[in-house]
Amino acid sequence: MSDVVLDPAHHRIALVGAGIGGSLSPALHEREARALGLDYRYSLLDLDDLPPGWTLRDAVRGGVTGFNVTHPVKQAVLAQLDDLSADARALGAVNTVSVRDGRLTGHNTDHSGFLAGVRHGLPGVRLGRVVVVGAGGAGSAVAYALAGAGAGVSIADADADRTAALVARLRGTFPTGEIHRLAAEAVPAALADADGIVNATPVGMTGHPGLPFDAGILRDRHWVADVVYRPLDTALLGAARAAGCRVLDGGAMLVAQAARTLALLTGAVPDLDRMRRHLAALTRGEGKR
């Protein structure tokens, strides 16, 4: 990765999503950009506040030079893009959009961010067989990362068609992989033979309280990861910890994907350890573990 900053020298990045007022991304990105000496501002574009028919190109005309994309438009935004990276095309979801010479290209840093988070936060964990709950943008990235790392992956979602579409895409990308479609009600049975489980749904996020599945099925041999990072200590992770499970909060994925995004949009090389310290400082005093 080059350490030469890409044009433009003035980076104006925006996060696009719904209900994003509590996002930690602006502060996380701006703290690291400041440490790197970049002219970099990160703003929020909440879909709930934007006019009907608004598009990414409207923001580009307003001076935005790159985007992060989050729930619920990681897949819906594809129609607005000129091109996709190989990973984004395989996933059918983006979380980062670069703007070069008027062309919008979608990337996905969620998958590498998730895997980096697992390796840092759950060192030595057995990937073996993993259940992924959620087949949306985050679930696509998590399942892609796990399949690419050689894990057997079973994917469950309330939307059976979305699950089937994701499984078909992943089987096309990893033809020798063990990738299975799972009915939502079959999660308990699948977990009996699994090493770990990942919540890749918004359930547990601020404004979306609850558990994505019955945590009573967890055993101390399981590891449990959550993509939700606000709050960091979700109800699921609390229940998993009580069951004796090793757990990974969504902050690990947040930091790693943010670092990769910052690199893609600026050409600079972020310091992952420093960004983890940024996140710790941002969440200190919130009562999070």
- Which amino acids are annotated catalytic? 74
Q: Mind spelling out the 3-state secondary structure of the chain?
A: CCCCCCCCCEEEEEEEECCCCCCCHHHHHHHHHHHCCCEEEEEEEEHHHCCCCCCHHHHHHCCCCEEEECCCCCCHHHHHCCEECHHHHHHCCCCEEEEECCEEEEECCHHHHHHHHHHHHCCCCCCCEEEEECCCHHHHHHHHHHHHCCCEEEEECCCHHHHHHHHHHHHHHCCCCCEEEECHHHHHHHHCCCCEEEECCCCCCCCCCCCCCCHHHCCCCCEEEECCCCCCCCHHHHHHHHCCCEEECCHHHHHHHHHHHHHHHHCCCCCHHHHHHHHHHHHCCCCCC
